[in-house]
């Protein structure tokens, strides 16, 4: 391996990142790693692109739940990789692992608690992208937050924003299986069609052609019974607050509409939280790892293998395509879970 192509972080953005200015593809033509005890060298196969990564594009002095990207180094992501050299007995050569890898072809990994071997990864019919999507962090996000915060009951109604994305499409299918009415918002007509015809939502709308306020008035005349699975924030959150019924629960998963602006949207109707006795709770998916991961992985894997759920992936091909795919995801151009395919197993 004389070279290692990677996506390097160059500069902190204040709005949407610009390829070439804030991140760029570079190649190390003299890549000759020497492993220390406990380290492994991986050949990266696929890695995830997620909205939370925009929050890592900041000065390291600004605290957050996730460490900032380092200027001049490869960005990192949850990924699936093959161990090709090892000085760690837990991960012998040939192991297929889920780990935080670089946006690069090869990564030298220290011994971290977040690294785990994926059992049966070579034999399964599931694509490797499943382990960073429906069976990975986004899937656990949907499953655990519904169980722990949403507490859905049969007959209730849920509104899901960014409903064709990594989290939303699974959350909607779980809620349908549990007997809820599911309404989703997306950013294009083809995504609306996907939710209605393939995923099985009861209703969906394109927020670019119809406001959330008008759509919820039409699609949920009795109000949102329990949960607004909040991924977008801004005007969609404001509309949801207007339509939530008393004692509604808001699962605050993310607010992607606010990640790339210098002028955050000011929510004007937060008094509904008081008058309707709403519960609004944010979370970090790691909060749920120990309690929910085993049941989530077993349950969703069975649903996937039996084809009881569908899960769309938007896969960029190769390291060179990763920067544009990332910025496209932030702009809502992806259709499904955004991932980058680096190499075949």
Could you report the per-residue pLDDT of 61-70, keeping only the tens digit for each?
988 888 999 9
Checking if the pLDDT of 214 tops 50, the result is: yes
Amino acid 168: pLDDT: 92
Checking if the pLDDT of 264 tops 80, the result is: no
Question: What number is the average pLDDT over the span 210-233?
Answer: 84
Q: How would residue 255 be classed by pLDDT, with cut points 50, 70 and 90? A: low
The size of the chain, in residues, is: 345
Cα separation, 150 vs 93, whole angstroms? 42
Question: Is the sign of the CA dihedral 51, 57, 61, 67 positive or negative?
Answer: positive
Cα separation, 97 vs 136, whole angstroms? 12
**Tokens 């293998």 identify what position?**
305
* Nearest residue to 19 via CA among 313, 319, 234, 257: 319
Mean pLDDT of the chain: 93
Model confidence over 268-302: pLDDT tens digits?
999 999 999 999 999 999 999 999 999 999 999 99
Instruction: Return the minimum-mean-pLDDT range out of 169-183, 216-230, 316-330.
Output: 216-230
Amino acid 259: pLDDT: 62
144 C-beta neighbours (distance < 10 Å), count: 21
Radius of gyration of the chain (CA): 20
Amino acid 266: pLDDT: 78
Q: Cβ contacts of residue 216 below 8 Å, gap of 6+? A: 159, 183, 224, 239, 240, 242, 243
Is 141 in a helix, a strand, or coil?
A: helix
Q: How would residue 141 be classed by pLDDT, with cut points 50, 70 and 90? A: very high
Checking if the pLDDT of 148 tops 60, the result is: yes
Structure tokens at 265: 């949207």
Amino acid 257: pLDDT: 56
Q: How would residue 260 be classed by pLDDT, with cut points 50, 70 and 90? A: low
* Nearest residue to 48 via CA among 14, 15, 81, 20: 81
Amino acid 267: pLDDT: 86
Amino acid 223: pLDDT: 96
Using a cut of 0.85, tell me whether the model's pTM lies above it: yes
Helices (H) and strands (E) in the chain, counts: 8, 15
Cα separation, 97 vs 77, whole angstroms? 13
Around 323, how many Cα atoms within 13 Å sit in the side-chain half-sphere?
A: 19
Model confidence over 233-250: pLDDT tens digits?
678 889 999 999 999 999
Checking if the pLDDT of 154 tops 50, the result is: yes
Checking if the pLDDT of 203 tops 60, the result is: yes
Q: How would residue 230 be classed by pLDDT, with cut points 50, 70 and 90? A: very low
Is 267 in a helix, a strand, or coil?
A: coil
Q: Cβ contacts of residue 260 below 8 Å, gap of 6+? A: 13, 15, 16, 17, 54, 330
b/e per residue, 200-234, with b = 16+ CB within 10 A?
ebbbbbebeeeebeebbeebbeebbbbbbbbbbbb
Around 123, how many Cα atoms within 13 Å sit in the side-chain half-sphere?
A: 3
Instruction: Return the minimum-mean-pLDDT range out of 9-13, 50-54, 71-75, 197-201.
Output: 50-54
């Amino acid at each position: 391996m004389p070279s290692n192509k990677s996506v390097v972080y160059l500069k902190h953005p204040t709005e949407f990142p610009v390829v070439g200015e804030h991140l760029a593809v570079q190649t190390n033509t003299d890549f000759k790693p020497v492993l220390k005890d406990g380290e492994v060298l991986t050949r990266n196969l696929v890695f995830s692109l997620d909205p939370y990564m925009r929050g890592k594009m900041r000065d390291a002095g600004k605290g957050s739940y996730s460490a900032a990207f380092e200027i001049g180094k490869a960005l990192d992501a949850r990924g699936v990789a093959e161990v090709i050299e090892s000085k760690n007995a837990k991960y012998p050569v040939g192991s297929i692992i889920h780990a935080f890898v670089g946006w690069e072809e090869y990564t030298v990994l220290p011994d971290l608690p977040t690294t785990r071997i994926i059992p049966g990864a070579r034999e399964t019919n599931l694509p490797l992208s499943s382990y960073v999507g429906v069976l990975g962090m986004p899937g656990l996000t949907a499953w655990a937050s519904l169980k722990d915060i949403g507490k859905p009951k049969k007959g209730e109604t849920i509104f899901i924003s960014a409903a064709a994305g990594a989290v939303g499409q699974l959350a909607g299918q779980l809620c349908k299986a549990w007997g809820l009415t599911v309404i989703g918002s997306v950013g294009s007509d083809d995504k609306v069609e996907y939710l209605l015809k393939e995923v099985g939502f009861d209703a969906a709308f394109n927020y670019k052609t119809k406001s959330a306020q008008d759509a919820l008035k039409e699609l949920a005349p009795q109000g949102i019974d329990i949960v607004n699975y909040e991924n977008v924030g801004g005007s969609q959150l404001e509309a949801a607050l207007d339509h939530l019924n008393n004692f509604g629960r808001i699962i605050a998963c993310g607010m992607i509409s606010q990640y790339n602006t210098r002028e955050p949207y000011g929510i004007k109707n937060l008094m509904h939280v008081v008058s309707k006795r709403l519960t609004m709770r944010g979370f970090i998916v790691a909060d749920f790892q120990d309690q929910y991961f085993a049941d989530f992985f077993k349950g969703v894997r069975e649903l996937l293998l039996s084809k009881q759920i569908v899960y769309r992936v938007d896969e960029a091909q190769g390291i060179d395509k990763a920067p544009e795919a990332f910025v496209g995801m932030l702009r809502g151009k992806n259709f499904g879970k955004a991932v980058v395919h680096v190499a075949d197993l």
